[in-house]
Amino acid sequence: MYEPIRTPSSRGSAHSTMAGTPSDFPHRSREEELDIQLAAHLAALLAVTDELRAAVPSAELDSAAARLAQQVSRLRGGRTPVRATLAAGPAHPRPSVLHERAHALAGRALLVAASRADTAAAILAAQRMDAHAAALAGAGELSTAG
The domain ranges of the chain are 30-80+92-139
Work out the burial of residue 146: count CB atoms within 10 Å of its CB; fewer than 13 is exposed, 13-18 middle, 19 or more buried.
Answer: exposed
Instruction: Tell me which DSSP letter residue 108 carries.
Output: H
pLDDT of residue 28: 83
pLDDT value, residue 143: 47
Q: Which residues of 72-90 are buried (b: 16+ CB within 10 A; e: fewer)?
A: bbbbbeeeebeeeeeeeee
As a whole number of angstroms, the distance between CA 20 and CA 23 comes to 9
pLDDT, position 17: 52
Residue 104 has pLDDT above 50, yes or no: yes
Nearest-angstrom CA–CA distance, 61 and 134: 13
> Is pLDDT above 50 for 145?
no
